[in-house]
Amino acid sequence: MVQVLRFGLIIIGDEILSSKRQDRHLANLNALLKPRGLALSWVRILGDEAELLVDTLKQTFASGDQVFCCGGIGATPDDRTRQSAAKALGLALKPQPQAVAEIEEQFGEQAYPHRIRMAEFPEGAAVIPNRFNRVPGFSIQQHYFMPGFPQMAQPMMEWVLDTYYADAKQPPSVEKAIRLLDGAESEWVEFMEAFEHQYPKLRLFSLPHISAEGRRSIELGIEGEATLVEMGLNTIVEEVNKRQQAWEPL
């Protein structure tokens, strides 16, 4: 049986929760996963509260999911992700030799006394290279910890996928949809239920819209393997025409 991998994303930082900064990690990771035929199953946004970080990481470590964690691995007192990961696993926080070497080579004497703290990882963690400034992230138990800066995190995410999940690639999924004009979602519930039973490998979605003028419409579409998507879209269009429902392609 082929193992189905579930990918998750944890975005960490009080500045995200307070909207001082807008998240870019979700869009960046999706842009990397989709061409590989992979997808996110869940996302969590957390502040820098140590207790909540520990509790959340205990859950995700136990889940068996493949988890990207962005933020909170710096050296300032409000960066608590490295410590929380270690505590969640019941491990000591220790200098990782490869990380120490990277930081020393990048900063020389200025690595001490503070920057070098960023080389302290849960015991047994491996390095994730950071080509932006050579301050690495770390991986342990299918969790991948990287900085909160998107320009650093995105290439690190790509490295993780290429290094650990090259064999997990699937044919890229495609998405197609039509817009139902002046329709109500409630009129399509039974059809959608039957459609999901007929096409279990497709992801069906229904997105209602209300225009500025108050006109209602529904974006009805599917995502999945290209051949199945064509078959599923034909089934939807046949049903729409059968009902004489006004629609337009997207």
For 177-228, write each residue's pLDDT tens digit: 999 998 889 999 999 999 999 999 999 999 999 988 888 999 999 999 999 9
At residue 226, the 3 state secondary structure works out as helix
Mean pLDDT of 150-159: 98
Q: Are 209 and 219 in contact (CB under 8 A)?
A: yes
Which structure tokens are listed for 109?
């004497």
pTM of the model: 0.88
Task: Give residue 3's pLDDT band: very low, low, confident or very high (50, 70, 90).
Answer: low
Sequence-ordered list of residues with C-beta below 8 angstroms from that of 93, at least 6 positions apart, any chain: 82, 83, 86, 120, 121, 122, 123
For tokens 């225009």, the residue is 211
Taking only the tens place, the pLDDT of each residue in 166-180 is 999 888 889 999 999
What percentage of the chain exceeds 90 in pLDDT? Answer: 92
Cα distance between residue 237 and residue 244, in whole Å: 10
Q: Kindly write down the DSSP assignment for every residue of 5-20, as one continuous string.
A: P-EEEEEE-HHHHTTS
Q: Which uninterrupted H or E stretch holds 85?
A: helix 81-89
Residue 1: per-residue pLDDT: 43
- DSSP conformational letter for 247: E
Taking only the tens place, the pLDDT of each residue in 58-87 is 999 999 999 999 999 999 999 999 999 999
Mean pLDDT of 1-10: 81
Cα distance between residue 152 and residue 154, in whole Å: 6
Strands 40-46 and 66-70: unpaired
82-86, Cβ contacts within 8 angstroms, sequence gap of 24 or more: 82/118, 82/120, 82/121, 82/122, 82/138, 82/145, 83/50, 84/50, 84/53, 84/54, 84/57, 85/57, 85/122, 85/140, 85/143, 85/145, 86/121, 86/122, 86/123
Mean pLDDT of 122-150: 97
Sequence-ordered list of residues with C-beta below 8 angstroms from that of 173, at least 6 positions apart, any chain: 34, 37, 39, 223, 224, 225
